[in-house]
């Protein structure tokens, strides 16, 4: 079992984290998007998408499912939501 460490972010929020992810959960909650498709994802999945510059279904369609699943923070529970966002926009994941 990994032990949680007390950390303090740049804004002064104190939190405990066991992973090496540097994101403060308080700051992360403040950044949660409104109505865009990323709002349907968990915070780790949202950060993974943001790290690749993906904020719109059109950008997501440039990647294959395998490439997206390989991102840290994306799991199998995120994929149905991402597929639905692509379908709603009339898009699909890139073919491998």
In 1-96, which ranges are continuous DSSP H helix? 25-30, 43-51, 57-60, 65-69, 78-88
pTM greater than 0.85 (yes/no): no
CB atoms within 10 A of CB 56: 14
Domain ranges of the chain: 1-31, 34-96
What CATH architecture is 34-96?
Orthogonal Bundle (1.10)
The closest of 90, 94, 88, 39 to 69, measured between CA atoms, is 94
Low-confidence residues of the chain: pLDDT under 50 = 34
The end-to-end CA distance of the chain, in Å, is: 37
What pLDDT was estimated at residue 68?
A: 96
Q: What confidence score (pLDDT) does residue 92 get? A: 96
């Amino acid at each position: 079992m990994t032990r949680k460490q007390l950390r303090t972010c740049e804004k002064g929020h104190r939190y405990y984290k066991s992973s090496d992810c540097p994101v403060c959960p308080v700051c992360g909650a403040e950044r949660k998007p409104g109505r865009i498709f990323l709002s349907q994802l968990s915070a780790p999945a949202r950060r993974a998408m943001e790290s690749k510059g993906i904020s719109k279904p059109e950008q997501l369609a440039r990647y294959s499912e395998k490439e997206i699943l390989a991102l840290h923070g994306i799991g199998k529970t995120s994929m149905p939501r991402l597929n639905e966002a692509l379908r709603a926009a009339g898009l699909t994941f890139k073919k491998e």
